Structure 1
């Protein structure tokens, strides 16, 4: 008979066993429990927030996403069906192009969902905003009948281009409001035009030097001219345009300042600082233009009939000529020039120029007419009187162009303004 006798374990072994079973103290265990409860509460809060968003989300978003997904699935299924079934080559190309267009439209909607016109409005506001001011001085010497203009400084220009730094300069134009334009406008009732607005003529033009890489350029350039025949300051205005010089393209107009001399007391030197405004065009003349389209021959007849301008002085050797160019469907034809005609208040040309047109339909067509003044007795540079643009764009059509397209093979004449 075996007798079991329990011997007490050593004290060292009991302490080691207790250490294995409970390696942490009560404080540590309570801390771990608190952290676990905190994480559980955070998870419950996140879950409740997701449920709230799912319940309050508008059904239109789900419908829009389902529509995009269905379009994508339909496109994929149709492309798979087109690969399995062989057809005519032209039909296959048309189906593939249609599918590519639909897929591109769906992807663009997916990546850029409709969010309103806030970005477009912001872009338009940035374009219309003009920064900077122009500081200048003006003075009229009554003894010598001399007008003196000094361009001092342009301040606060904003460099919007990241490709190159600003190279600003100032172009000055001394404008004369011709009363002849109003009188001639009242005498054109028989042509159905009614009274015309005031026409402007350029008496003098100057240009400052170019200051490179500066948003606050200092100029200090002084210009002067003698005004013997034009002392009526109520009809004289000074236009100063701040431009960014470009060697390989047209200069960018950053802003302008207009100063009517009749509203200022310039009998003594007067220094002014004006904010730059949005550039605007002035009416330098009017052109009676005739258009006729020949669809069978694919030709366009542009007739220059009359040009009405302002005469600041009578000159026997002054002549006008026009340069006309046509651009249709991104195909620019060679420009053509009219003959030089002696300049009058109403210069009569009565010339017709013929241009070839590309294949119809005409998605975009633009007719540009530039009128220049030249001297016939001596060699001199040509002077731009003004230019006009008539034609059809992708979004809209000019009124004259619409009348021409409705009256095929019939010349349609209409007055247009020359802008400077």
Structure 2
């Protein structure tokens, strides 16, 4: 200020002289940057507003959505009006987003007690004979159990279509999963309303071989999802020529056998090596899924922490797929004696990228169950491979 006072100048008297062309150029660049920033702002607002799009229009008849497929069937007997939020994802193998149930494994299904299961699930089923499509609608749930530490629950429903080769298959026999879907997540609600609908192509003669399994799960971002209960609907005992609405009490979840794996185990204490041989995998293959391939992923965990993992090569899927591959793990002796071997079987479609789909798990550890008998035989026969068939559950 002293310098300007000495010169007798003011800020208004300080002017920069630019040519008229340069001034218009600077103004044009400023306008372009302003428009770019405005477009980015509008795009972010649009993404935020459409992340959870809400459809409040009623559906006359049945409005079925499966991927990009939509159809409405007019019915004279009943008109279903469902207001629902269109956040239902049709599960395709290898989807890039994180599924709500992706962190759920076989261990979370075990040891659930009857007193921990409460509530009911309402759903509807319909088979469109003209379109040869099965429509499954998850409507709502009531009186779900809450978590002890938070006194709340964030429920969603995982839907599976289980297919057996014969209509009179028992529940303990092998099945395969035709389709999987998950509903939207409803936060902090013991009586959530879903209204999510799913559909798939299904031949009329195969309807009686399908069981629809509904798992009500509690979403937890930082740990395994807890199963609040399940409901099942065998289609061979239902008349689905018109929309059939059911409400079922939730039951203790049961494992479904989806295959078998012939494994060999060998432990060499001197070199502290554990060899897991994936020899054969037997599965039920649906006629429409003959172009698939299989591979096994073996993980070693200790105190719920994953230590090592390896995968077999991919083999074309047959009724019995032969691998004959041995995976070697080098671990300290204490970790080997206390670890858990988890074999996960995946199905892929070679013609599609990112088409990985989990078939089921096997857990082998030091314990007292029939599956854990293999571990005991391995420790009794050191340096010798011991082979045994194990059931794959999901």
Matched, 1:206 2:181: yes
Unaligned runs of 5+ in 1: 1-123, 183-195
Q: TM-score, normalising length from structure 1?
A: 0.63
Matched, 1:303 2:277: yes
Please tell me whether the aligned partners of residues 301 and 308 of structure 2 are also in contact (alpha carbons under 8 angstroms). no
Query: Which of residues 221, 240, 246 in structure 1 aligns to 2:220?
Result: 246
1:157 — aligned with what?
144
Query: Which of residues 333, 336, 340 in structure 1 aligns to 2:307?
Result: 333
Quote how far apart the aligned CAs of 1:143 are: 1.6
Please tell me whether the aligned partners of residues 243 and 255 of structure 1 are also in contact (alpha carbons under 8 angstroms). yes
For residues 45-96 of structure 1, give each alpha carbon's deviation from its aligned partner in whole angstroms, at most 9, with x where no partner exists.
Answer: xxxxxxxxxxxxxxxxxxxxxxxxxxxxxxxxxxxxxxxxxxxxxxxxxxxx
**Count of residue pairs the alignment pairs up:** 284
Alignment of 1:18-417 (within 5 A): 128-163=115-150, 165-179=152-166, 198-228=173-203, 231-313=205-287, 315=289, 317-328=291-302, 332-360=306-334, 363-393=337-367, 398-417=372-391
Q: Which has the larger radius of gyration?
A: 1
Quote how far apart the aligned CAs of 1:308 are: 0.4
Q: TM-score, normalising length from structure 2?
A: 0.67
Name whichever structure is richer in helix by fraction: 1
Q: Secondary structure at the match of 1:231?
A: helix
Name whichever structure is richer in strand by fraction: 2
Please tell me whether the aligned partners of residues 364 and 394 of structure 1 are also in contact (alpha carbons under 8 angstroms). no
Quote how far apart the aligned CAs of 1:232 are: 3.0
Change (3 A) 1:360 1:130: closer
RCO (CA 8 Å, sep 6+): is it higher in 1 or 2?
A: 2
1:91 — aligned with what?
none
1:39 — aligned with what?
none
Give the distance between the partners of 1:304 and 1:418, measured in 2 at CA.
Answer: 13
Give the distance between the partners of 1:202 and 1:168, measured in 2 at CA.
Answer: 22
Give the distance between the partners of 1:143 and 1:371, measured in 2 at CA.
Answer: 36
Please tell me whether the aligned partners of residues 145 and 228 of structure 2 are also in contact (alpha carbons under 8 angstroms). no
2:41 — aligned with what?
none
Quote how far apart the aligned CAs of 1:231 are: 2.5
Give the distance between the partners of 2:378 and 2:235, measured in 1 at CA.
Answer: 43
Change (3 A) 1:296 1:344: same
Change (3 A) 1:329 1:267: closer
Change (3 A) 1:296 1:126: closer
Quote how far apart the aligned CAs of 1:314 are: 5.1
Give the distance between the partners of 1:232 and 1:208, measured in 2 at CA.
Answer: 25
Give the distance between the partners of 1:391 and 1:385, measured in 2 at CA.
Answer: 21
Give the distance between the partners of 2:146 and 2:228, measured in 1 at CA.
Answer: 10
Give the aligned CA root-mean-square deviation in angstroms: 2.8
Unaligned runs of 5+ in 2: 1-110
